[in-house]
Amino acid sequence: MPAKQPPFYPGQRRVLAALGERLRLARLRRKLTIEVTCQRAGISRMTLFRAEAGSPAIALGTLLRILAVLGLESDLDALARDDKAGRLLQDQALPVRRRRSSARAQPSNLKERAP
């Protein structure tokens, strides 16, 4: 891992901030306190604060534990599930298969046998 992380673009920061806000709102809808959420997830209060603030330093495993406490861990399955652009690129790189013509399919040395 490089000593200095590359910077996040503003759009990426907005995505992380929106994710953090959704985590906070999900916790509040379930009426879970910060203490209960941290205890169940096995994380510190500061880690939960950072996750809910959209910090890019939160590990994916930590995010999964928070989602599990909220009952949302299956939402992680939806990430990058439908890779339309990747499938298009893959399909463009596939070789085009050509079929043999029926004349070429039969060897030329076989001729009809006379009865």
pLDDT tens profile 54-107: 999 999 999 999 999 999 999 988 887 888 888 888 888 777 777 777 665 555
Distance CA(76)–CA(63), nearest Å, equals 9
pLDDT score recorded for residue 33: 97
Distance CA(36)–CA(80), nearest Å, equals 31
Q: What is the pTM of this model?
A: 0.72
pLDDT score recorded for residue 1: 52
Distance CA(68)–CA(6), nearest Å, equals 29
More confidently predicted of 18 and 8: 18
